A = this chain, B = another copy of it.
Amino acid sequence: MIEHKYQFRVAYPDTDKMGTVHHSVYPKYYEIARWELFRSIGVAYSQVEEQGFMIPVLSMNFKFIKTTRYDELLTVVTTLKSIKGVRLWFTYQLYNEQSELINEGETELAFVNAATWKPCPAPEFVLSAIQHHTRKQWLTVAN
């Protein structure tokens, strides 16, 4: 649906005594990456919360394929797969400097009312940013 690339370096405290990145750090990388995808279509996640919504994680799955290490320049390819009702799905592929796939992840999230934590449909300004961007992509492909 919508794809985005985000590049970053492995920080020192991301590592553990194995010398590689601790597995609990990957959810943090992917969270930054998905909100950068949002930013790329004109929606800052901070704005989502300011409007009274939150988007917590319902489930997450990760597959560790290769290790990485301190200071490596990594690239996440994030895909917003779909939005249906209150839920949205992202997938992530993480590549090292040699373009090798080192990790894959998927997360399911839901829109909730920030005051009540009750699930709610995606706010209009988020939906229209997504539709606007998807139509633009389609037009680009069509021409």
Name which of A13, A56, A63, A117 has the most chain B CB atoms within 10 A of its CB.
Answer: A13
- Tell me, yes or no, whether A4 is within 8 Å of chain B by CB: no
Interface residues of A in 1-53 (CB under 8 A from B): 11-13, 15-20, 22-25, 27-28, 31-32, 35, 44-46, 49
Q: How far is the CB of A33 from chain B (nearest CB, A)?
A: 11
Q: A62 to B12, alpha carbons, bound, how many Å?
A: 19
Copies of this chain present: 4
**Alpha-carbon distance between A44 and B15 when the two chains are bound, in angstroms:** 16
CB distance from A67 to the nearest CB of B (A): 7
Query: B22, B45, B60, B61: which contacts A23 (Cβ < 8 A)?
Result: B60
A59 at the interface (CB under 8 A from B): yes
A64 in complex: contacting residue of B13, B46, B54, B58, CB < 8 Å: B58
Query: Are B16 and A16 in contact (CB-based, < 8 A)?
Result: yes
20 of the cross-chain contacts (CB-CB < 8 Å) are A11-B28, A11-B31, A11-B32, A15-B17, A17-B69, A23-B56, A23-B57, A24-B25, A24-B27, A24-B28, A27-B27, A35-B71, A49-B70, A56-B64, A57-B64, A58-B63, A59-B61, A60-B61, A60-B62, A67-B117
